[in-house]
């Protein structure tokens, strides 16, 4: 399990994130919301070990994150960044196959997992094509398949961190992606996902963390967090909150 | 009867030994060094040359021979493809691994010193003479050369009684542009001095000068050697690329002399005395023709 | 685009090409040897008991001149191509070239110091000459690369972008230093320097060959083992880190292998350009960017290409010789322009 206590991150003399105490529970999807510059990506960076904490520490299974060796950590923790800078003409299966690097599962099993991961990310039809020939949204789904393959099939003890995985996707694929993430969590993995769309967050997340100016404003269920007053205070947006007619989760409508 | 037999035996002996000596001296020569090629030709060995390097341009007929490339970057197989029996060169000939490869192929490799002084030349000519089987010719050629140089010395001494030694600069250029000035320890410097001039450049080796310093030295005679052009074309190019030279005394007096650049490399060559004489005549116009 | 050639076909093709290049390199040259003599001499060299009569010249040409030259060409071509792949992986850019980390300009500087310094300080004994030159070039290459690497490190991490800029700056600095030495050089030394800068496989001998062979073999055996890690590095340094790869160590290895390999190649044969840039590109065009195929294929392709270039260098102006750097530039530059225009780069 990935957890942190009293986490503080500084950039130079400036405090960019503080007072974060968080536990990513198995089987749970935790959504991170907040305006631009609130510290969402900073939080993700700290949780995956890219940024060093000024105060507090990040622990994976009771061990400091920095104590983990590369391969064993990669078998438990996968990160999907917001953008990818891959500039070489690999085939789609080869890109997804890189997710199996930390494992010694053999060619046959790896190929099965790659196919399954592509299916889960709704990118099966892209198989055999060159990565450079794909659109932005298609590439995003290929990378999702890669991190899913890295932790396949997903179980308790594994953590998936996702930085805005739906930013370039059309409405259908926004849902299929988060549905795949949801199913991953249902198998036991812990998931943290940064989102911009409040309604997607409301539908797919078990808990929400609302950040503003580097500080946590709320950490609770969507029903508790997504209410007009905190949303107005943090986003400056006047909203109506209603119940989704079929599913019951909050539905946020801008006024 | 016995005397004529003895004479006959002696004649046969001479005949046989002469041919034996001729068979010993190598017949297929490759030369890597302009001056060496000239001396080989001067000693009558031109017909034995089967290949020369890029600096061997005199006599003109050598240019028709296969070229083995630049003397410092020879190719072993290239030389061996000419099936030579001997390779001659100077201390500049190389690279060394190629020379040892040529040696191990059974080719005789003889290196000569390129130092521009008479004792070295004498030694070189003696060796060349022996290798060509032209010992007598070699010593004759050397004596004639020495005489020419002695005459040159006398000429200069007499001329200097009448007039001062002129200030000279030698410019080595390529199609007129970016000339290098010959300083001390160069063959050019030696040549200028032998011709009775006073080299105004005090540095060592060949160095580029700013045109201003050239003009401030204000030489009385300019000697130029161009690697790309000859004759009037070279002269015109020199002044076109460096127009400020026309403000020197030498240019204004029309005392601008051309020199063949191949005379400046590879040690003393056979054409040097003539070049020296031409230079002296230009340096001391009053004494010219003596 | 999708792969044009499957790996197995590619390797078979490249191995055949390499064998052809080796054979032509041994069989052809300014000295025309009868084919039968070449065959017999070659067999004798590997120990087959054949009567040696009439084969002295063939054995000499083959054993002392062409064979060491062929081995040199194989080693230099292979290690330059391999270093090209390594640098294109390190900088994650298919336009990268081993010279970017400064190893080529450092080697040129070392050579200039040896060539010009030797003549200024009165010259060294003839027998030392070639060794000193190679050693200086090698140390120069390693030295400048070490400096570039050091400049690119901050807080225990290597910043590739900083390294790139440092490489550019130090290359310019080394270049001006070489310019200074050029100014101090006399005419003859200048020509030696110029020819060294154009590269040549001339004068190859076994004694000077073995350090390069050892190093090339080492690099060629080591880098392919990091093929999967190199693939992941192309995703990005943090992504590769998240996949469990020790990225700092990998970057260090890439720089070190390049410095050693290219340093040794330049020390042995002077500056030969474009091989490190062009060969990986060609192989990628045929077989895709997977380093498991790219690395070994580049070794074979680079070795073959250099041997073919050397054939041209030896035969075009026989009995004189073209510097091989001119031939590779002649092939490489137009190809590079073609790549740019076609938009594949």
* Touching chains, A (3+ CB pairs < 8 A): C
Cβ contacts of C61 on chain B, cutoff 8 Å: 77, 80, 105
Q: What region, left, alpha or beta, does residue C64 occupy, with left being phi > 0 and alpha being psi -120 to 50 degrees? A: alpha
Contact A80, A166 (CB under 8 A): no
pLDDT greater than 90 at residue C233: yes
Above 50 in pLDDT, residue C345?
A: no
Comparing CB atoms, the residue among C236, C243, C289 nearest residue A85 is: C236
Q: Across-strand partners of B22?
A: none
A95/B264 Cα distance (integer angstroms): 66
* Six-digit token string for A68: 């983990």
Instruction: Give tens-digit pLDDT for A101-131.
Output: 999 888 999 999 999 999 999 999 999 999 9
HEC per residue, chain C: CCCCCCHHHHHHHHHHHHHHHHHHHHHCCCCCCCHHHHHHHHHHHCCCCCCCCCCHHHHHHHHHHHHHHHHHHHHHHHHHHHHHHHHHHHCCCCCCCHHHHCHHHHHHHHHHHHHHHHHHCCCCCCCCHHHHHHHHHHHHHHHHHHHHHHHCEECCEECHHHHHHHHHHHHHHHHHHHHHHHHHCCHHHHHHHHHHHHCCCCCCCHHHHHHHHHHHHHHHHHHHHHHHHHHHHCCCHHHHHHCCCCHHHHHHHHHHHHHHHHHHHHHHHCCCCCHHHHHHHHHHHHHCCCHHHHHHHHHHHHHHHHHHHHHHHHHCCCCCCCCHHHHHHHHHHHHHHHHHHHCCC
Task: For residues C41 and C115, give the distance between their C-alpha atoms in angstroms, rounded to a whole number.
Answer: 37
Percent over 90 (pLDDT), chain A: 75
| Residues from chain A contacting residue C249 (CB–CB below 8 Å) | none
Indicate which CATH number applies to the domain containing C195: 1.10.3470.10
Cβ atoms within 10 Å of B260's Cβ, excluding its own: 15
Test C245 with A101 for CB contact under 8 angstroms: yes
pLDDT at A78: 95
Domains held by chain C: number: 1
Q: What span, in angstroms and rounded, lies between the C-alpha atoms of C161 and C167?
A: 10
Least confident of C47-61, C87-101, C283-297: C47-61
Question: Which tokens hold the place of C312?
Answer: 């041209």
Closest CA to B86 of B135, B38, B36, B126: B36
Of B72, B78, B104, the CB nearest to C319: B78
Tell me what the mean pLDDT of segment C148-177 comes to: 89
- Residue C71: alpha-carbon gap to chain centroid: 13
Q: Which two tokens stand for residue A30?
A: 């935790």
Chain B interface mutation, best of C31, C68, C193, C208, highest count of B Cβ atoms under 10 Å: C31
- Give yes or no for residue A63 having a pLDDT over 70: yes
Residue of C183, C188, C202 lying closest to B75 (CB–CB):
C202
Look up residue A134 and give its DSSP letter.
S
pLDDT at B20: 46
Nearest to C234 by CA among C299, C183, C284, C297: C284
Residue A160 token pair: 């998936």
* 3-state class (DSSP) for residue B207: strand
Contact call for residues C69 and C201 (beta carbons, < 8 A)? yes
- Name the one residue in this structure whose structure tokens are 């000077």: C208
How many domains is chain A built from?
A: 1
Residue in chain A closest to C245 (alpha carbons) equals A70
Binned at pLDDT 50, 70 and 90, residue C1 comes out as very low
Give every CB contact of residue C290 below 8 A, 6+ residues apart in sequence.
A90, A94, C227, C231
Cβ within 8 Å, pair C188-B72: yes
**Residue C292, domain member (yes or no):** yes
Give residue A31's pLDDT.
Answer: 95
> What's chain C's Rg over C-alpha atoms?
21
Domain covering B165-283, topology: Rossmann fold (3.40.50)
Q: What order of strands is seen across the sheet that includes strand A207-212?
A: A77-80, A159-163, A190-194, A29-33, A207-212, A215-220
B66 touches chain C (CB under 8 A): yes
CA–CA distance, C203 with A10 (Å, rounded to integer): 61
Strands C157-158 and C153-154: antiparallel
Alpha carbon distance A176, C94 (integer Å) = 35
Q: Is B47 on the interface with C (CB under 8 A)?
A: no
State residue C171's pLDDT score.
Answer: 92
Which of B92, B95, B205 is nearest residue C202 as measured by Cβ atoms? Answer: B95
Torsion region of C331: left, alpha or beta (phi above 0 gives left; psi -120 to 50 gives alpha): alpha
Task: Kindly give, in sequence order, each residue whose CB lies less than 8 Å from that of residue C204, ignoring residues fewer than 6 positions away.
Answer: B97, C68, C69, C71, C72, C268
Q: Which range in A223-227, C59-63, C318-322 is most confidently predicted, on average pLDDT?
A: A223-227
Task: Check the CA dihedral A129-A135-A138-A143 and report its sign.
Answer: positive
Interatomic CA distance for residues C142 and A46, integer angstroms: 37
pLDDT at B93: 87
Measured between CB atoms, which of C92, C232, C244 is closest to A73?
A: C244
Distance, in angstroms, between A224 CA and closest chain C CA?
Answer: 34
Between B212 and A85, the more confident residue is: A85
State chain C's mean pLDDT as an integer.
Answer: 86
Residue C302: phi and psi, rounded to 5, are: -65, -45
Instruction: Label residue C324 exposed, middle or buried (CB < 10 Å: 0-12, 13-18, 19+).
Output: buried
Domain boundaries, chain B: 24-140, 165-283
Q: What is the average pLDDT score of chain A?
A: 92
Asked if chain C contacts chain B via 3 or more Cβ pairs within 8 Å, the reply is yes
pLDDT score of A186 more than 60 = yes
Copy the structure tokens of residue A80: 């999907």
What pLDDT sits at residue A177? 92
**Across the interface, which of B76, B207, B208 has its CB nearest the CB of C65?**
B76
Q: How far is CA B197 from the centre of its chain?
A: 19
| pLDDT for residue A164 | 93
CB C62 within 8 A of CB B76: no
Instruction: Kindly report the CATH number assigned to the domain that includes residue A218.
Output: 3.40.50.300
Average pLDDT over residues C277-287: 88
- Indicate the pLDDT class of residue C279, thresholds 50, 70 and 90: very high
CA angle A72-A73-A76, nearest 5°? 95
- pLDDT digits over C83-142, tens only? 999 999 999 988 888 888 889 899 989 988 888 777 665 554 444 566 788 888 899 999
Top residue of A46, A98, A107, A145 to mutate, by most chain C CBs within 10 Å, is: A98
Which whole-number Å values give the CA distances from C225 to B94, C80, C250, in the listed order? 42, 18, 11
Q: How far is C235 from chain A (nearest CA, A)?
A: 5
State pLDDT tens for residues C70-93. 999 999 999 999 999 999 999 998
The residue whose two tokens read 């022996």 is: B130
Concatenated DSSP letters for B158-185?
HHHHHSPPPEEEEEEEETTEEEEEE-BT
- For residue B159, the Cα-to-chain-centroid distance in whole angstroms is 25
In the complex, which subunits touch B with 3 or more CB pairs below 8 angstroms?
C
- Written as tens digits, the pLDDT of chain B (290 aa) is 566 666 665 655 555 554 444 456 888 999 998 888 999 988 888 899 999 998 888 888 888 899 998 888 888 888 998 999 999 998 888 888 889 889 988 899 999 988 777 888 889 999 999 888 888 888 899 999 889 888 888 888 888 888 888 889 998 887 777 788 888 878 888 888 888 888 988 887 788 777 777 778 888 888 988 877 888 888 888 888 888 888 888 888 888 888 888 888 777 888 888 888 888 888 888 766 55
User: Mean pLDDT lowest for which of A172-181, B23-32, C135-144, C264-273?
Assistant: B23-32
CA dihedral (A120, A123, A124, A130) in degrees, to 10, reads: -140
Residue of B nearest to C59 (CA): B105
Residue span of the structural domain in which C204 resides: 7-24+65-342
List, in order, residues 6 or more apart from C99 with CB less than 8 Å away. Answer: C105, C167, C171, C273, C276
Q: How far apart are CA C3 and CA C24, in angstroms?
A: 30
- Does C262 or C42 have the greater pLDDT score? C262
Second CATH level (architecture) for the domain B24-140: 3-Layer(aba) Sandwich (3.40)
- pLDDT above 90: residue A151: yes
CA neighbor of C170 nearest in space, from C152, C183, C185: C152
Domain containing A82 equals 2-254
Nearest to A210 by CA among A153, A252, A158, A151: A252
More confident residue, C31 or A233: A233
- As a whole number of angstroms, the distance between CA B234 and CA B228 comes to 8
Residues of A in contact with C231 (CB under 8 A): 90, 94, 98
When pLDDT is cut at 50, 70 and 90, the band that residue C303 belongs to is very high
Report phi then psi at B60, rounded to 5: -50, -35
The structure tokens 């003009």 sit at B215
DSSP-derived letter for residue A133 is G
| Residue whose tokens read 């005199």 | B58
**Cβ within 8 Å of residue C81, ≥6 positions away:** C275, C276, C279, C280, C298, C299, C301, C302, C303, C305
Question: What pLDDT is stored for residue A178 in this prediction?
Answer: 94
Could you tell me the CA-to-CA distances from A142 to A146, C45, C169, C183, C284 in Å, in that order?
6, 56, 39, 57, 22
Contacts of C160 by beta carbon, 8 Å cutoff, 6+ apart = C90, C91, C92, C152, C237, C251
Cα→Cα distances A251→A177, A242, A246, A247, A248, Å: 19, 5, 11, 10, 9
In 3D space, the residue among C268, C133, C269 whose CA is nearest the CA of residue C200 turns out to be: C269
For the sheet with A14-24, list strands across it.
Answer: A14-24, A2-11, A55-60, A63-64
């Amino acid at each position: 399990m990935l957890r942190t206590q009293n986490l503080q991150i500084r950039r130079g003399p400036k405090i960019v994130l503080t007072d974060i105490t968080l536990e990513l529970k198995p089987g749970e999807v935790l959504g991170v919301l907040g305006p631009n510059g609130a510290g969402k990506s900073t939080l993700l960076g700290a949780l995956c070990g890219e940024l060093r904490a000024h105060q507090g520490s990040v622990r994976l299974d009771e061990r400091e994150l920095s104590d983990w060796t590369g391969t064993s950590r990669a078998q438990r923790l996968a990160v999907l960044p917001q953008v990818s800078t891959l500039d070489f003409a690999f085939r789609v299966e080869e890109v997804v196959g890189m997710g199996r690097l930390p494992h010694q599962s053999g060619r046959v099993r790896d190929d099965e997992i790659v196919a399954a991961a592509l299916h889960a990310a709704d990118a099966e039809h892209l198989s055999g094509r060159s990565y450079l020939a794909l659109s932005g949204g298609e590439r995003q789904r290929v990378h999702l398949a890669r991190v899913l393959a890295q932790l396949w099939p997903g179980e308790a003890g594994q953590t998936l961190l996702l930085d805005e995985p739906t930013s370039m996707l059309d409405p259908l694929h926004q849902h299929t992606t988060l549905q795949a993430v949801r199913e991953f969590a249902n198998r036991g993995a812990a998931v943290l996902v940064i989102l911009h769309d409040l309604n997607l967050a409301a539908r797919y997340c078990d808990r929400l963390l609302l950040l503003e100016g580097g500080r946590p404003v709320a950490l609770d269920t969507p029903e508790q967090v997504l209410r007009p007053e905190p949303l107005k205070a943090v986003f400056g947006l006047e909203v109506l909150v209603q119940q989704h007619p079929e599913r019951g989760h909050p539905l946020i409508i801008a006024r | 009867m016995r005397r004529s037999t003895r004479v006959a035996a002696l004649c046969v002996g001479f005949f046989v030994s002469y041919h034996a000596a001729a068979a010993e001296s190598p017949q297929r020569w490759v030369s890597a060094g302009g001056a060496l090629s000239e001396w080989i030709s001067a000693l009558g060995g031109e017909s034995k040359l089967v290949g020369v390097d890029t600096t061997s341009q005199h006599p003109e007929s050598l240019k028709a021979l296969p070229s083995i490339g630049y003397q410092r970057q020879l190719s072993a197989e290239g030389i061996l493809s000419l099936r030579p029996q001997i390779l001659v060169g100077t201390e500049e000939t190389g690279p060394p691994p190629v020379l040892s490869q040529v040696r191990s192929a059974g080719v005789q490799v003889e290196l000569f010193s390129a130092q521009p002084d008479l004792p070295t030349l004498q030694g070189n000519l003696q060796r060349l003479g022996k290798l060509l089987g032209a010992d007598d010719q070699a010593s004759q050629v050397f004596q004639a050369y020495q005489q020419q140089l002695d005459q040159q010395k006398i000429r200069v001494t007499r001329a200097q009684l009448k007039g001062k030694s002129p200030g000279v600069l030698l410019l080595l250029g390529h199609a007129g542009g970016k000339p290098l000035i010959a300083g001390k320890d160069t063959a050019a410097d030696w040549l200028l001095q032998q011709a009775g001039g006073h080299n105004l450049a005090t540095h060592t080796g060949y160095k580029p000068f700013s045109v201003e310093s050239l003009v401030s030295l204000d030489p009385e005679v300019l000697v130029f050697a161009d690697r790309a052009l000859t004759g009037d074309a070279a002269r015109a190019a020199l002044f076109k690329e460096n127009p400020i030279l026309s403000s020197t005394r030498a240019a204004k007096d029309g005392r601008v002399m051309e020199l063949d650049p191949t005379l400046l490399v590879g040690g003393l060559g056979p054409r040097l005395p003539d070049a020296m004489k031409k230079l002296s005549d230009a340096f001391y116009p009053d004494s010219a023709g003596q | 685009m999708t792969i044009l050639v499957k790996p197995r076909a590619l390797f078979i093709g490249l191995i055949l090409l390499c064998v052809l290049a080796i054979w032509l390199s041994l069989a052809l040259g300014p000295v025309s040897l009868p084919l039968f003599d070449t065959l017999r001499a070659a067999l004798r060299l590997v120990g087959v008991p054949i009567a040696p009569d009439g084969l002295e010249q063939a054995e000499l040409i083959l054993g002392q001149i062409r064979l060491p030259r062929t081995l040199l060409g194989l080693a230099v071509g292979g290690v330059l191509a391999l270093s090209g792949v390594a640098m294109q992986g390190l900088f994650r850019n298919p336009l990268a070239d081993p010279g970017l980390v400064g190893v080529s300009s450092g080697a040129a500087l070392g050579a200039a110091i040896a060539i010009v310094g030797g003549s200024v300080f009165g010259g060294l004994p003839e027998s030392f000459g070639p060794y000193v030159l190679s050693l200086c070039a090698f140390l120069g290459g390693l030295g400048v690369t070490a400096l570039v690497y050091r400049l690119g490190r901050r807080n225990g991490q290597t910043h590739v972008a900083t390294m790139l800029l440092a490489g550019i700056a130090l290359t310019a600095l080394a270049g001006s230093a070489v310019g200074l030495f050029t100014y101090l050089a006399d005419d003859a030394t200048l020509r030696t320097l110029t020819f060294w800068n154009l590269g040549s496989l001339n004068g190859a001998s076994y004694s000077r060959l073995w350090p390069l062979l050892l190093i090339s073999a080492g690099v060629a055996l080591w880098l392919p083992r990091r093929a999967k890690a190199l693939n992941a590095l192309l995703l990005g340094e943090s992504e590769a880190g998240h996949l469990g790869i020790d990225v700092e160590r990998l970057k260090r290895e890439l720089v070190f292998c390049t410095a050693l390999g290219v340093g040794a190649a330049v020390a042995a044969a002077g500056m030969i350009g474009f091989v490190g840039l062009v060969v990986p590109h060609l192989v990628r065009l045929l077989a895709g960017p997977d380093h498991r195929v790219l690395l070994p294929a580049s070794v074979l392709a680079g070795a073959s290409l250099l041997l073919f270039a050397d054939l041209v260098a030896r035969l075009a102006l026989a009995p004189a010789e073209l510097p091989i750097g001119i031939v590779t530039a002649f092939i490489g530059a137009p190809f590079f322009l073609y790549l740019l225009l076609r938009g594949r780069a």
